[in-house]
Structure 1
Amino acid sequence: MFNNSSKILFITVMIIGTLITVTSNSWLGAWMGLEINLLSFIPLLSDNNNLTSTESSLKYFLTQALASTVLLFSVILLMLKNNFNNEVNESFTSMMIMSSLLLKSGAAPFHFWFPNMMEGLNWMNSLLLMTWQKIAPLMLISYLNIKELLLISVILSVIVGAIGGLNQTSLRKLMSFSSINHLGWMLSSLMISESIWLVYFLFYSFLSFILTFMFNIFKLFHLNQLFSWFINSKILKFTLFMNFLSLGGLPPFLGFLPKWLVIQQLTSCNQYFLLTAMMMSTLITLFFYLRICYSAFMLNYFENNWMMTLNMNNFNMNLYLILTFFSIFGLILISLFFFML
């Protein structure tokens, strides 16, 4: 639908919209940045050759428009209270603002649109939706920090993300429920400090990029493709599933490091109930990741009589192997680095 220069322009405007939201000193300015981000992201989603992407872009627009309407209405109520001293319940207004931001980020219990929409997108748009599009809402949530609502959202997000991914065969839905689960961890890190949230978000974005990079190259969308596609390349098959386990947070992989930091901080804050719920949900997530890995490694599959050519150039292969090396051995390298210091 658009050429590469148009897509670069939309991505640039999307980044500018996020930066406007993050650097704004008023709720109205933050709302304007969110709208700029929304209107530049929707053209990236739509594709004339794919009807499901057009449907997903419409779902995204309607959901984000609803959240933006609630946000703007709540901001107007706050302005009326500050300017005219009206008797507006400020805590209720703040909860409305936070609910609209949770809806924008796709956190439970406002997650209903996220998995179905992800199912219709390509992998690059899915990566943007799972990573970059969460920056602005999460930063605004950190300004409010209503702990009661945040606590409910964290518990529901980790539970929905864990249970929702149990019986999924679609890789995009599996990644979407994994994103909801990780979003619960990110919201809990926001309750502690923004620096821990930033570390967690960077590590999550890095691990998600590795997986979506591979899925996009080989056009993989379902689990049965994983089992049959990499028969002639055992190294790619092994490293891909190791990245799955790293994303799930299994030690000694890199994905365990941000969860380790959050667990340590929650323990120091005596948040034992929240920590128990999050740990149990992570065990469920690791269960279906390990089940997939066990099926891939331990079971025999009929090999094809013809050789399947893997359309991957040397640059992509080297980039993937370098990123995978840090994903698998990153925790060990970081631990050795701090031990040497």
Structure 2
Amino acid sequence: MILHPTRALFYLTLMMGTLISISSSSWLGAWTGLEINLLSFIPLMSSKDNQFSTEAALKYFLTQALASAILIFGAICLGLNSQLAYSFSNSFFSLNLIIAATLLLKMGAAPFHFWFPGVMEGLGWINGLVLMTWQKIAPMMLISYIFSPSVISFSFIILCALAGSLGGFNQTSLRKIMAYSSINHIGWMLAALLLGESYWLTYFLFYSFLSSSIVLLFNLFNISHINQIFSLPIANPIFKLALFCNLLSLGGLPPFLGFLPKWIVIQGMVNANYIFVITLMVTMTLITLYFYIRIGYSAFMLAHHEPKWLVTPYISPLSQISVIISFSISTMGLLLCGGVISII
């Protein structure tokens, strides 16, 4: 499908807003970039084919507007009187904490994640992928300027791991499962930020690749709920295998590529003596693996029911090649990375 010029313009301004935020030298410039990003994403969320898109756009706009208002308040307080910032620096409710909370609200991190699953439920898969990946770049880069090892920082990380893993229980909507998975991964990204921006960038790139691979498959087959996966056409089982291997890779199961960024973060956290935090995060990741395996339970069984009237959808050769390439990288990527590192 050819991209409409208007949507192409909004995607361009969406990317431009993020670039303005991460390249700004002041909080006011960062706020301006975030607003451009917000006002570009709202029209992209609306769709004639999805009756829930308007509700999702309204929820997203209200939460982002609230976060933007608090962010500009904190930026003005920092700019008006630098002594005010110094006087707050040793208190619990510091200006840095207020700004960090607004940025966590913007990216949907716990404990400010109340809007994220509901908005994801009302979006299409492509817009949901943008919300899970690109929309996190600017808040993550901005929060890296003020994020430092402290009790509050570790509390945010642990809350993200808990909310992301426990929230996925008893969910039948794949969009909500991916939303809670994203919240769990935000905790890992925040932990990577404490170690350095290179850790965060590595983790984010791997997470974006694996999420894109899964969303591509969900979008190809137009799947929204777990029970639809049970009746996936078996005519081409490589797609079913690719879906579940990518899910297990996103969960961080060791033979797959998704284990590599988690391995890097675990090693960095252990070297920094954050043993308790990383132990709790790994435990919560095992819970996320549970509901990934629950999605693929029927495919792992040798005997299952398949309706005879099921029509296999047409999949273009380009999409088939993309699925096979992403499946190969996700499955063999860890071995290839290990081989390259050993050669170097």
TM-score (norm 2): 0.95
The total of aligned residue pairs comes to 339
CA deviation string 1:219-251 (max 9, x = no partner): 100011111023332221112111110010001
Q: Percent identity?
A: 53
Equivalent position of 2:5 in the other structure? 5
Contact 2:298 2:304 (8 Å CA) reproduced: no
Alpha-carbon separation, structure 2, partners of 1:300 and 1:326: 29
Residue pairs, 1:204-243, within 5 angstroms: 204-243=207-246
Q: Which has the higher helix share?
A: 1
1:300 matches 2:303: yes
User: Does the C-alpha gap of structure 1 residues 170 and 89 become closer, same or farther in structure 2, counting only changes over 3 Å?
Assistant: same
Equivalence map 1:45-56=2 (5 Å): 45-56=45-56
Q: Which one of the candidate residues 282, 287, 290 is aligned to 1:287?
A: 290
Report the equivalent of 2:129: 127
Distance 2:84 2:16 in 1: 35
CA distance in 1, matches of 2:17, 2:51: 27
SS at match of 1:143: coil
Task: Report the counterpart of residue 16 of structure 1 in structure 2.
Answer: 16
CA-based RMSD of the aligned residues comes to: 1.7
> Any idea what SS the aligned residue of 1:309 has?
coil
Q: Which residue of 2 aligns with 1:154?
A: 157
Give ranges in structure 1 of 5+ residues lacking alignment: none
Of 232, 254, 260, 1:251 maps to 254
Post-superposition shift, 1:290?
2.2
Q: Match of 2:33, as an amino acid? A: G
Per the alignment, residue 75 of structure 1 pairs with 75
- Separation in 2, partners of 1:157, 1:214: 26
Task: Evaluate the alpha carbon distance shift between residue 309 and residue 152 of structure 1 in structure 2; reply closer, same or farther with a 3 A threshold.
Answer: same
Q: Secondary structure of 1:144's match?
A: coil
Give, as a single letter, the amino acid of the residue that structure 2 aligns with 1:44: L
Q: Structure 1 pair 88/78, CA: closer, same or farther in 2 (3 Å)?
A: farther
Q: Deviations 1:155-206 (Å, cap 9, x if unpaired)?
A: 0001111111121111000000000000000000001100010000000000
CA distance in 2, matches of 1:209, 1:32: 28
Does the CA contact (< 8 Å) of 2:233 and 2:310 recur in 1? no
Report what 1:202 is aligned to: 205
> Which runs of no fewer than 5 residues in structure 2 stay unpaired?
none
Aligned residue in 2 for 1:102: 104
Q: Match for residue 335 of structure 1?
A: 338
Q: Does 1:178 align with 2:181?
A: yes
